[in-house]
Amino acid sequence: MPAKQDPAARAAELRDEIARHDQAYYVQQKPTISDRAYDELYRELRELEAAHPELATPDSPTRRVGNELPEGSKFPTVAHRRPMLSLDNTYSEEEVRHFEQETVRKRLAKAGVAEAPEFAVELKIDGTAVSLWYERGLFVKGLTRGDGVRGEDITANLRTIREIPLRLRAKGEPPAFVELRGEVYLPRSEFARINAQREEQGLETFVNPRNAAAGTLKQKNPKAVAERRLGVFVHTPGSFEGVAFERYHLFLETVRAWGLPVNPHRRVCKDAGEILAFIAEYDMPRRTYDYDTDGIVIKVDQLALHETLGTTAKSPRYAIAYKYKPEEAETTVLDIEAHVGKTGVLTPRARFEPVFVAGTTVTYASLHNQDEIDRKDIRIGDRVTIEKAGEIIPQVVRVLVEKRRGDPPKYRLPEACPVCGTATVRREDEVALRCPNARCPGRFRERIVYFAGRGCMDIEALGEKMVDKLIAAGLLKDLPDIYRLERAKLLELERTGEKSIDNLLANIEASKRNDLARLLAGLNMPHVGTRNAELLAEHFETLDALRKAGVEELEAVEGVGPVMAQALVDYFADPDERARVDGLVAAGLNTKSLTAKVRKQAAASGGAFAGKVFVLTGDLGKYSREEASKLIKDRGGKTASSVSAKTDYVLAGEKAGSKLKKAEQLGVKVIDLEAFEKLLAE
């Protein structure tokens, strides 16, 4: 900060500059400065407000994440200024034409309206509805839809969404009051990341992005909400004071100018023919976007005609939703199995008669929890329809009750662990059942399989069948026992040859030389998957330094939030986990990062890869994904699983898929293997 500049003026300048960069990054997806430069602006503002507390304003970016709700408290409810109605759904071309001709044109003609209606059409986001209130440009309240008359006040959680500006970027005097209605969603890439992380941790996975978004907004800790990286699209005007609009599409353009996101895939159509052409045009492309869509919203574009057309008790007559039909298949539930994860969570899984749907043969699908089974009334022997959520994850859509034979019993998750027999428990804040026995063989087995897996210690010969043999023989009782296995004892195992035993022992010995990141991934620490393990290893460089780190020091690591930081401190304080780690250290495992110094030096070198973010897609020929990622990271670069405005390069091999399309949409530079190798040679 310049020495003579007034602190208040500088604070206002910083808030405005950060808001402009937020809009460029989150709304326009065209970042204008580097992450480091942005962080420096944010840090300067935070330090300035700390030195001058009177300068902190409600719209300051430092105030986005608030405090957790007190235990036992609930979100207060607030009356909507206007009811939040739901849209009627339509599923066929005939119903779209009926809406245009009968519901709109004939009704307007009867009312003596000569103006020909036009129709604004846009993608329907499969998320959760919210209402955003701005008073004189300042974001003051955010509500859920609730029952349409009253919604829950989730302002603190909505403030954490970076796409929602805390102050409108209005030209001139902002409106006295505006209510903007929209849809909060969890991006598909985030859904995949979170579910992969939860699966690694043995936690219950989310059913779909929509449920995950709705559940996230009901979290009582805004810090946990911020870690989920929700998105939002504004799509409907609510109440207004001091501003008016003639057309819906002009409302959307104004909202975007104010700094809020609106869906870019929209059009004004003159009749049903143009509407149906838009519906057909987006049926396939919508599947490649980073958010779920389940249809198209059709609205009369002239807002004055909305009053003429009116509403029913539940839905407006001036708008309707066309729902795309997902690809479904019918099959039989052969069995429902309760799987015990490494943290004790019992996850029910349906086994089907194999059926082909959306490009692959489906045999299994997670049923998630008992509540999901009860809601859909899924029973063994039922005929069911299945689809792939987001064209990826198999799920049961509905039970064909009319085809049910007899009255098969309802399925209940077992009251005792199917592996160790311990009575299952349900935590107060969860729907999942757990085996609470920390020494449950089922949990223990999963921890060993996970520890030895390719993404962790990569002990290839220690697969599931070998793990089962060793447990049955009493040779494996904890993770350190892997490194205490003796050849003579192994030779006593039935149907196990000398060659396989030698391979196993060689693999185990080789794993001792693995990078620290692999060990951290294999320890099954809360919230730590392979990616976070790598970040922790490279930041702290040694296991000893990580074990001694406090919450604040952990939160300084990229990707580590307060929840993970506290969980790590608790993990290393747990006597059992501490003894387990000590046993592995005593066995001679490497406890240092083998890449940290090289990669830190490369990142600071200013080379072709330094600080650059790569996304890999398609067949990379002579490079595996792991090999290509290592080449990038060893030269100071980073890799990401999904394409965003932060991406510098998309490395596209043969048969590149949706990531390539996303890169083209965002204007991200795409390179092939030849260009990649030229960068490597620089």
Catalytic positions = 124
CA dist 451 to 340, 437, 511, 567, 584, Å? Answer: 16, 19, 11, 19, 12
Amino acid code (one letter) for 282: Y
Question: Rg (Cα) of the chain, in Å, rounded?
Answer: 28
- What gap in Å lies between CA 216 and CA 205, rounded to an integer? 13
Amino acid code (one letter) for 626: E
Concatenated DSSP letters for 559-603?
Answer: T--HHHHHHHHHHHH-HHHHHHHHHHHHTT---B-SSHHHHHHHH
DSSP letter, residue 558:
T
Angle between helix 562-573 and 575-586 (nearest 10)? 70
Asked whether the beta carbons of 507 and 461 are under 8 A apart, the reply is yes
- What are the residue ranges of helices labelled H in 587-672? 596-605, 625-634, 658-666
Beta bridge partners of 432: none
Nearest to 226 by CA among 140, 158, 301: 158
Q: What share of the chain is helix, strand, coil (3-state, %, to 5)?
A: 40, 20, 40
Nearest to 585 by CA among 508, 507, 483, 445: 483
Q: How far is CA 257 from the centre of its chain?
A: 27
- What gap in Å lies between CA 13 and CA 485, rounded to an integer? 64
Concatenated DSSP letters for 291-351?
Answer: S-EEEEEEEESBTHHHHHH-B-SSSBSSEEEEEPPPP-EEEEEEEEEEEE-TTSEEEEEEE
Residues in Cβ contact with 277 at an 8 Å cutoff, skipping those fewer than 6 apart: 269
Nearest to 221 by CA among 324, 20, 69: 69
Tokens of 442: 């089922």
Asked whether the beta carbons of 382 and 332 are under 8 A apart, the reply is yes
Give all strands (DSSP E) within 420-492, no chain letters. Answer: 425-426, 433-434
- What gap in Å lies between CA 181 and CA 236, rounded to an integer? 5
Q: What is the three-class DSSP state of 260?
A: coil
The secondary element (H helix, E strand) that includes residue 521 is helix 516-522
Give all strands (DSSP E) within 136-213, no chain letters. Answer: 138-144, 150-152, 177-185
From the number of C-beta atoms within 10 Å of its C-beta (0-12, 13-18, 19+), residue 582 rates as exposed
Q: What is the three-class DSSP state of 423?
A: strand
Beta bridge partners of 352: 333
Q: Which residue has the tokens 């048969």?
A: 655
- What gap in Å lies between CA 349 and CA 309, rounded to an integer? 48
Q: Which residue has the tokens 């027999």?
A: 421
